[in-house]
Structure 1
Amino acid sequence: MLVALSIRDVVLIDRLDLALGPGLTALTGETGAGKSILLDSLGLALGARSEAGLVRAGATQAVVSAVFEPPADHPARRLLAEHGLPDETALTLRRVVQTDGRSRAFVNDEPVSVSLLKRLGESLVEIEGQFAQVGLADAGTHASLLDAFGGLEGEAERVRGAFAAWRAAERARADAEAAIAAARRDEEWLRHAVAELDRLAPKAEEEERLDRLRRSLQGAEKRAEALASARDELARNRGVAQALRSAARSLERLGEDAAVAPVLAALSAAQDAVAEAETLLERLLADSAPDPRALEAAEERLFALRAVARKHQVTVAELPALRDNLCERMRELDLGEERIAALADAARAAREAYRTAAEHLSAARREAAEALAQAVAKELAPLKLERARFVVELTRLEEDTWGPEGADRVQFLVAMNPGQAPAPLAKCASGGELSRLMLALKVVLARSTPVTTLVFDEVDAGIGGATAAAVGERLSRLAESLQVLVVTHSPQVAAKASRHWRVSKRAEHGMTRTGLEVLDAAARREEIARMLAGERITDAARAAAADLLAGVS
């Protein structure tokens, strides 16, 4: 329900704040007072097209905010969730229009696209005017409206689910056929790649292990080279041990010489140390002699793995998974026909399930269509449309156009005169007739739409007397379940309202402004008397107005 409307600097309105409630609200006023400006302002907040001419002269921008309180399960709240917008008790739609016609849209103070604002607005409010019907005139809504009228939402949901399952089965079959076709094109390469990987037999952690082994073997080789070099240094020329022995023999020729004795002892100790070093070096060389083939084999294996990984643009660790994937593609190739046949069977079964569900829905819709046509027909005569014939047309669709809404197209048609072929709603009636036809439909379909607010713009155009009273009575019935706003020139309609606003135009300081007054009982009687009598209000008109108001239960 629309609970508040705030308008700033729109055409002749400088500042207007309206509080709204449930039931039927009538907007009256003389022609040109600005009632259409109010509707244009509301349309802006609902995502209608913006124009530079909507900004009041002298203002820098126009701003309109509409505050709604939709039920917890309303589609508007699902839209908020889908777009990650804050969902609060109150839902505020706001539009800001610049002097160049450009505009910005906001939902609960979050910037959004105008298209999203429009989607939200369409789920909340429906405006029916003489030449601007958009809700019921849109054939795309007729199937869901008929389903809601007939209580067929469960059957319709089953059809949507069956259609989704059928489409998924068809996609699975098509994907499998495409995969098999691609596998066949690559069969020779696949077999070569799998054979190469089978020969290589890569392991997930093998690269790291081989790299550690390679570094270890390279370290052992360097160690052996260092040991051999040390041994060679000891043996270079005559060798350190030989030199020490020669030096000792030279000193021993001196005989018993106390001064030389320490030198001989040192030379003897050095000979022992060198001999021990040579023994240790030989032992180490013998124990750690590197295996040149082991290093070569490790490097060959490592480089082979890395080369294959580069060729397939994966890491070495991913080679086992690559092999499994290629083998799976080979298995799909080998089992392709069998798998495709199974998927084709599943797709056929899903199609049959959808067809069965769609046929059940179509049969139920035919019954609901007859009931809807009869219900609308009862509403037409009191609205001076007794010659009109309302038809709900169900057309069987070709299979390639079946969809989630079923296998038939639902369209509301009307023939305004006997002998006339039924045609789409918006193409066969005058503005006033179409407005009243929409009212009849709305009365019957009031509980079949998520919209919580209905706006009728001069639905009573061109009628009066009993027909206008019938229009007012039906608007009042609608207002029992929906919030209804009606712009009217009919006193019979205005008298049915639970609240009454008068729109007027005034000149202040050389500027013309549109204002709105909430009428109390006395002012309301006077306004309805003006609508009955014109500019000169008589006592008889006031009495007639009182009678109209007294007749409102």
Structure 2
Amino acid sequence: MIKSLYIRNYVLIQTLDLDFESGLTAFTGETGAGKSIIVGALSLLFGQRADIQVIGPHADDAEIIAICHIESGSEADLWLKSQELEHDGEIEIRRTIHKSGRSKIWLGGKPSTNKTIQQLGEMVLQIHGQHDQVKLLQPAQQLHIVDSYGDFKQLLQDINAISDDWRTLQKQLEGLHNSGSLSAEQLQLLQYQFEELSNLELQENEYDSLHKQLEQATHAVELKSSLTQAQQLLSNGDLNASQILNNVSQSLSQTKGYDFSSIIGMLSEASINIEEAAAEIGLIEQNIDDDPQTLQTVEQRLDQIYSVGRKQKIEPHQLYQHTQELQARLSKHSEQDSEKQELEKAIQDSLDQFHNLAKQLHKKRQKAAQALATEISKQVKTLGLADAQLKIEVHRDSDKTPNPLGQDQVEFTVAINKGQSFQSLSKTASGGELSRIALAIEVSINQQQSGTFVFDEVDTGVGGATAEMIGQLMQQLGHNNQVFAVTHLPQVAGFADQHLQVSKENVNGITQSAVAVLEHEQRIHELARMSGGQNITETTLAQAREFLKTG
């Protein structure tokens, strides 16, 4: 509820500081006094588009501040916590408008935005007036009304959770497709390529090894001849290097007159190296295969590799690595395919659960809609629409994808007069009729709720017993809510728990609106003025006391 409202330099109000109570508060006053200014200020505070024309005369800016009570555990409380806005059961909303056109909003002392404050406003304040029923005509709001009446919180929470799960799984599946998942054509091609490479049975480094073998096999005879000659010169010939070194060493060791030990050591080491080189050459010679069949086998194997490389447009030396990459890609696809199947099954399970819950919700909504339509029709008949009947149709779209609100569309239809067919509210109801229907709806669904409702002259064009019934319904709605009623009917104002009178006066040549809280006797005189005009008589006073007594 709104606990207090401060207004400065707004339209005809220079300064106004009001404290409000729970229950029904009536705003009354003469025509043109500015009763609806309060409604305008609240609308502006909760996100209505700012217009510099609302700034009071001779002022540079306007300011509106409200202190709202936030009930613990309420929708508004949970929303504020989600916005990281701390409060101790009360929160301040402040808005300023400057002549330059600049507008600023603060929520809980922190700068805020129109969109944010509008979201909060939808939770704590509802305004109904002659020309302010657009929200009631919206399908989303009509669905919300049925849900508020039926109280399907747990079922809606379950549907919301399933819808979230379904969307998450869908995103995971989409991500899987976008992460390189193979199409059927791609998979077929890769499997064919991999099968061809697997049949080739290419080993790591085999291509390089075959090239070396080819080089050896091509020059095998020449190589063997050269190696045999080398061995002859090093150690096997009649006069070889090893023998020459031994002869030199022996000659120097027998020569007197000089110490040749270091040179003899070098010659000995050289002789050992020559022997090792000769032995290595011998091993190489033994391993050289000069069989013509070997050359043919190597050439055939290389031809196989070249052929596959050409078909797959891969360089021969890259075929082995390409095989490994194909295997890894096919393995990943297999894993993804398995994961995809699991995701698709989970998605279908979520979809089945959603359809099941949505079907349950549809049946409950139909039942609630029928009961609510009966209740609203009953209330509307007491508000001067004796022949009006309301019908609420609930249609289920079974093909609709998971949605936090289920699969239903709701439409309020009404027949105002006897013999008329049912039509949507937007096509058949006037502004005044819509206002009274809105009052009937709020009374029907908000007996156990908690919020602030503003009714701006919804009683226009009625009187007598109907006016009294409007006041009675507003009072009834105020038992668990805060209700503001801008009214010109004493029958309505008589039901108020708090009565505020709006007046207009001339201060130093400037017209200003003022608001006064009326006490008991003041209320009687105001009700008398409303029922009898400026000439207040004992009759009008007696009638005013009756209005107050009835209320």
Specify the TM-score bucket, using the shorter chain as the normaliser: 0.7 to 0.9
Residues of 2 paired with 1:100 and 1:423: CA distance?
Answer: 46
**Residue 179 in 1 paired to residue 193 in 2?**
no
How much has 1:166 moved relative to structure 2?
Answer: 2.3
- Which residues of structure 1 form unaligned runs of 5+? 201-323
How much has 1:355 moved relative to structure 2?
Answer: 0.6
- Three-state SS of the structure 2 residue aligned to 1:507 is strand
- Three-state SS of the structure 1 residue aligned to 2:432 is helix
Match of 1:513 in 2: 512
- For residues 454-484 of structure 1, the C-alpha deviation after alignment (integer angstroms, 9 at most, x for no partner) is 0000111000000000001100100101000
How much has 1:45 moved relative to structure 2?
Answer: 1.1
Cα RMSD for the two superposed structures:
3.2
Of 171-180 and 113-122, the range deviating more from structure 2: 171-180
How much has 1:402 moved relative to structure 2?
Answer: 4.9
Residues of 2 paired with 1:343 and 1:12: CA distance?
Answer: 64
Residues of 2 paired with 1:441 and 1:126: CA distance?
Answer: 12
Q: Is the contact between residue 145 and residue 448 of structure 1 (CA under 8 Å) also seen in structure 2?
A: no
Match of 2:93 in 1: 93
How much has 1:342 moved relative to structure 2?
Answer: 3.0
Match of 1:308 in 2: none
Residues of 1 paired with 2:494 and 2:333: CA distance?
Answer: 78
Residues of 1 paired with 2:147 and 2:400: CA distance?
Answer: 23
Residues of 1 paired with 2:325 and 2:136: CA distance?
Answer: 55
How much has 1:161 moved relative to structure 2?
Answer: 1.8
Please list, as runs of the form range in 1=range in 2, the aligned pairs for 1:397-416 lying within 5 A after superposition. Answer: 397=397, 399-400=399-400, 402-416=402-416
How much has 1:325 moved relative to structure 2?
Answer: 12
How much has 1:497 moved relative to structure 2?
Answer: 0.4
Please list, as runs of the form range in 1=range in 2, the aligned pairs for 1:271-350 lying within 5 A after superposition. Answer: 330-350=330-350
Specify the code of the residue in structure 1 equivalent to 2:132: A
Judged with a 3 Å threshold, the aligned counterparts in structure 2 of structure 1 residues 328 and 464 are, in CA distance, closer, same or farther, namely farther
Match of 1:534 in 2: 533
**Residue 355 in 1 paired to residue 355 in 2?**
yes
Match of 1:52 in 2: 52
Match of 2:463 in 1: 464
Match of 1:69 in 2: 69
Q: Is the contact between residue 146 and residue 369 of structure 1 (CA under 8 Å) also seen in structure 2?
A: yes
Match of 1:144 in 2: 144
How much has 1:376 moved relative to structure 2?
Answer: 1.1
Q: Is the contact between residue 442 and residue 478 of structure 1 (CA under 8 Å) also seen in structure 2?
A: yes
Residues of 2 paired with 1:165 and 1:77: CA distance?
Answer: 26
Q: Is the contact between residue 45 and residue 93 of structure 1 (CA under 8 Å) also seen in structure 2?
A: yes
Residues of 2 paired with 1:536 and 1:334: CA distance?
Answer: 93
Judged with a 3 Å threshold, the aligned counterparts in structure 2 of structure 1 residues 146 and 325 are, in CA distance, closer, same or farther, namely farther
TM-score scaled by structure 2?
0.72
How much has 1:447 moved relative to structure 2?
Answer: 4.2
Residues of 2 paired with 1:32 and 1:426: CA distance?
Answer: 29
Residues of 2 paired with 1:118 and 1:104: CA distance?
Answer: 14
Judged with a 3 Å threshold, the aligned counterparts in structure 2 of structure 1 residues 345 and 468 are, in CA distance, closer, same or farther, namely same
Judged with a 3 Å threshold, the aligned counterparts in structure 2 of structure 1 residues 325 and 100 are, in CA distance, closer, same or farther, namely farther
Please list, as runs of the form range in 1=range in 2, the aligned pairs for 1:125-144 lying within 5 A after superposition. Answer: 125-144=125-144
Match of 1:478 in 2: 477
- Three-state SS of the structure 2 residue aligned to 1:523 is helix
How much has 1:88 moved relative to structure 2?
Answer: 3.3
Sequence identity (%): 33
Equivalenced residues, count: 432
How much has 1:453 moved relative to structure 2?
Answer: 0.4
Match of 1:436 in 2: 436
Residues of 2 paired with 1:51 and 1:416: CA distance?
Answer: 37
How much has 1:146 moved relative to structure 2?
Answer: 1.5
Judged with a 3 Å threshold, the aligned counterparts in structure 2 of structure 1 residues 329 and 53 are, in CA distance, closer, same or farther, namely farther
Specify the code of the residue in structure 2 equivalent to 1:460: D
Match of 1:159 in 2: 159
Judged with a 3 Å threshold, the aligned counterparts in structure 2 of structure 1 residues 464 and 345 are, in CA distance, closer, same or farther, namely same
- Three-state SS of the structure 1 residue aligned to 2:17 is strand
Q: Is the contact between residue 393 and residue 410 of structure 2 (CA under 8 Å) also seen in structure 1?
A: yes
Q: Is the contact between residue 354 and residue 402 of structure 2 (CA under 8 Å) also seen in structure 1?
A: no
Residues of 1 paired with 2:105 and 2:423: CA distance?
Answer: 37
How much has 1:10 moved relative to structure 2?
Answer: 0.4
- For residues 473-496 of structure 1, the C-alpha deviation after alignment (integer angstroms, 9 at most, x for no partner) is 100100101000100000000000
Residues of 2 paired with 1:346 and 1:329: CA distance?
Answer: 25
Q: Is the contact between residue 173 and residue 347 of structure 1 (CA under 8 Å) also seen in structure 2?
A: no
How much has 1:76 moved relative to structure 2?
Answer: 2.2
- Three-state SS of the structure 1 residue aligned to 2:162 is helix
Judged with a 3 Å threshold, the aligned counterparts in structure 2 of structure 1 residues 162 and 352 are, in CA distance, closer, same or farther, namely same
Specify the code of the residue in structure 2 equivalent to 1:391: K
Residues of 2 paired with 1:416 and 1:26: CA distance?
Answer: 28
Match of 2:209 in 1: none
Match of 2:545 in 1: 546
Specify the code of the residue in structure 1 equivalent to 2:18: L
Q: Is the contact between residue 6 and residue 18 of structure 2 (CA under 8 Å) also seen in structure 1?
A: yes
Match of 1:455 in 2: 454
Judged with a 3 Å threshold, the aligned counterparts in structure 2 of structure 1 residues 328 and 92 are, in CA distance, closer, same or farther, namely farther
- For residues 481-521 of structure 1, the C-alpha deviation after alignment (integer angstroms, 9 at most, x for no partner) is 10001000000000000111100000011111000011111
Specify the code of the residue in structure 2 equivalent to 1:76: A
Judged with a 3 Å threshold, the aligned counterparts in structure 2 of structure 1 residues 18 and 426 are, in CA distance, closer, same or farther, namely farther
- Three-state SS of the structure 1 residue aligned to 2:476 is helix
Match of 2:238 in 1: none
How much has 1:329 moved relative to structure 2?
Answer: 5.5
- Which residues of structure 2 form unaligned runs of 5+? 206-323
Judged with a 3 Å threshold, the aligned counterparts in structure 2 of structure 1 residues 448 and 397 are, in CA distance, closer, same or farther, namely farther
Residues of 2 paired with 1:20 and 1:327: CA distance?
Answer: 76
Match of 2:231 in 1: none
How much has 1:330 moved relative to structure 2?
Answer: 4.6
Match of 1:387 in 2: 387
Q: Is the contact between residue 128 and residue 435 of structure 1 (CA under 8 Å) also seen in structure 2?
A: yes
How much has 1:398 moved relative to structure 2?
Answer: 5.2
Specify the code of the residue in structure 1 equivalent to 2:467: A
How much has 1:378 moved relative to structure 2?
Answer: 1.4
Match of 1:113 in 2: 113
Residues of 1 paired with 2:325 and 2:546: CA distance?
Answer: 86
- Three-state SS of the structure 2 residue aligned to 1:5 is strand
TM-score scaled by structure 1?
0.72
**Residue 493 in 1 paired to residue 492 in 2?**
yes
Specify the code of the residue in structure 1 equivalent to 2:3: V
Residues of 2 paired with 1:329 and 1:24: CA distance?
Answer: 72
- Three-state SS of the structure 2 residue aligned to 1:165 is helix
Match of 2:20 in 1: 20
How much has 1:182 moved relative to structure 2?
Answer: 5.7
Judged with a 3 Å threshold, the aligned counterparts in structure 2 of structure 1 residues 81 and 151 are, in CA distance, closer, same or farther, namely closer
- For residues 312-341 of structure 1, the C-alpha deviation after alignment (integer angstroms, 9 at most, x for no partner) is xxxxxxxxxxxx999876533134444333
- Three-state SS of the structure 1 residue aligned to 2:480 is coil
4+ residue runs over 6 A deviation: 183-188, 324-328
How much has 1:421 moved relative to structure 2?
Answer: 3.6
Judged with a 3 Å threshold, the aligned counterparts in structure 2 of structure 1 residues 344 and 534 are, in CA distance, closer, same or farther, namely same
Match of 2:41 in 1: 41
